Each structure stands twice: as C-alpha cells, then as structure tokens.
Amino acid sequence: MQTSFISSVTEEHIQNAAAILNDGGLVAFPTETVYGLGALATDADAVKKIFAAKGRPADNPLIIHIADFSEVTHYAREIPPIAKALAEEFWGGPLTMIFKKQPSVPDAVTAGLDTVAIRLPSHPIAYRLIKAAGGGIAAPSANTSGRPSPTTAADVKADMDGKIEMILDGGTSEHGVESTVLDLTSPTPRILRPGAVSLEMLLPFLPDCTYAALGHCDKPACPGMKYTHYAPDAKVFAVKTLSVLEVNRLAENNPDAGILALHVKEAGYRAAHLLSAGSTAADYAACLFSYLREADRRGIRTLYAVLPPPDGIGTAVINRLTKAAGGDIL
C-alpha cells in the first residue's frame, strides 16, 4: 500500500483523512502526547487492521478519541459525576478515563473487556480530524508494537510506511509521553499508566486516587502493562542510585555506550554518546522516545538513562524508562 505523507495539513487534507477513516482505512495523526494510529471506533474491521499494522497483541485494548465531552455517553455508561469535573479541568489534554462500556463498542476496541478508555486530545489536527470523521477514533500510539512511541511524523513513517493509508504531520508532540490512564471503574480510582496529568494534579478531585502497580502486571485491569514496551535495540539500564562517577566508570571506556540524563554536561557525565534530556522532567519526557530511537540510529549498544526525580511527569518518565530497561535498575 502507498502511504500518503502530508506535511502541511490543510482543511482539504483533513477531509481526505476523514474520508479514508469512513472507508475503513487507517490514518496516523498528531496528538499533544504522541502520534496515534486511528480507525473509526465503530468499524470493527478497520480496528482490527490497527492491530495487524502494529503487530499488537489482540488482548491490549485501544483508547477512543472524542471531540466533545457529550460524546462520552456514545461509548460509556455509568459515568461517575466526577468525570465531568475532570474533563473540564484536563480535556483537551493528556488524560484518558476508563468507564464501563456501552454494548455497541466493538470488542476489537476494548479487547473484550467490559470497560472502555476515552480521551479528548488538545492537538488541533486531532480535534479537527475527529470532528470531520463524525465519530470517535480508536487509536493506539502509531509505533510498531514494542518500539518507542512516535513523537514525530518521521518516526511514524519509519514504522508504518506502506502499512497505512495516510500520515498527517503536526510537528513534534508537546508532552512526548502517552496520556495518563485513569481507571474510574475500580472501587477507588487508580492510575494505570502515569502521564503528564500527575497524581498530584488529580488528588484535589480524587482524594483516594492511587497508582496501580506500575510494573509488570498481567491482571486484566491493566492489559498494556504485561508487555515490554519502548525497547530500543540498545540495552537500557535505568540509573537510580549510582553516582555520576560510578556511571562514568561504566560508560567512559566503551565507544558504544551512551548516557541520557538531566543536566548532562553540568553534572559532569562522560561517555562517547552524551544525550541531553534538558533541565526539567517535562524536557526529559518530551525527548525521551526520540532519544530511544536516536540511540539505535547512532549504534549505541548500552544506554545508561539516569532517572529524573519521582514527581509530576517525572513519574511517567521513570515508568517508561524502567520498562525500556526491562526492570534493570542500577
């Protein structure tokens, strides 16, 4: 299949993309978190094509992207009143809420679960595409399953060229890590995946909100967590307790080793490949996945990724790096 790559997206392109979706095709589109790979949420056959294009296990459910809060009721039932307040505060934006599903939502979307994940993105191209398509768009991140999520249209092309109908380029994703996944169907609200909307930000609305076990988990409540994610070809070590000196000692004399860290130069890190994650956890999140891809392009074989402080979006960075490291923490 020929994949159309659209670099300056016009209203006409949005209409073409919406037509592709309504014909049962797949379109990759930008969001403020990472790029998504979309199909019309009500089209089970199209949704199945997403799993084929990504090589995604069929038991890992998708998020439905909507353009207005009122559309939640098309896909979800028993919506708790707090959802409206959360939507007013955090939508459009990087928060996904899990509700009980409507029977009409195809099993292909929810992987046969009784619940459905819904989010309203803020990226204008995502928003216009959902509006033009005339219904919710089921979309996972637009990477090959197991690879780092794409934060640019070029990253999407690297994984999806020839497999999908269209890629819409909307620049580099603002947040760089996927949305916070919040389960509102459990006895107390739980964050299944940390993102830019942090626990600290949710607590004023949900005082009893907690993180679910964020590591390896194969209970159905957190289907995405049992798979290794975000793994580049390089062996990643998540550095939690080692000092700068100790990391340098591991990396310094190895031409194929890299260090990814905040304040990488000022802190005195030394390696053949120094990857600067900037100076804040938000900077780190924004460049994390592109560096994991860059590490492969540069031929880095061992990557020491120094973890940021464990609060705010730093929790999401730690979660993704711990997964990329397959749990190898130094």
Interface with ligand TXA by CB under 6 A: which residues? 31, 33-34, 36, 60-63, 94, 96, 98, 110, 113, 115-117, 119, 139-141, 178-179, 181, 192-193, 222-224
Q: Which does 96 bind (CB under 5 to 8 A by kind): Mg ion, ligand TXA, none?
A: ligand TXA
Among residues 89, 96, 173, 182, the alpha carbon closest in space to that of 139 is found at: 96
For Mg ion, the closer CB: 14 or 37: 37
Half-sphere exposure of 229 (CA within 13 A, CB side): 27
**CA pair distance 30, 152, nearest whole angstrom:** 8
Smallest distance from Mg ion to CB 177, Å? 10
Q: Which residues of 32-68 are buried (b: 16+ CB within 10 A; e: fewer)?
A: bbbbbbbbbbbbbebbebbbebbebeeebbbbbbbbe
- Which partner in ligand TXA, Mg ion, none is near 135 (CB below 5 to 8 A by kind)? none
Q: How far is the CB of 270 from ligand TXA (least distance, A)?
A: 35
φ/ψ region of 55 (left if φ > 0, alpha if ψ in -120 to 50, else beta) reads left
Tokens matching residue 270? 């030394």
Residue 50 or 67 with smaller CB distance to Mg ion: 50
Residue span binding Mg ion (CB under 5 A) among the ranges 108-116, 132-140, 165-173, 290-298: 132-140
Report, in Å, the least distance between residue 76 CB and ligand TXA: 10
- Contact status: 319 vs Mg ion (CB under 5 A): no
- Which position among 31, 115, 141, 276 is part of the footprint of Mg ion (CB under 5 A)? 141
Beta bridge partners of 27: 38, 166
Distance CA 258, CA 218 (A): 32
Q: Which residues bind Mg ion (CB under 5 A)?
A: 140-141
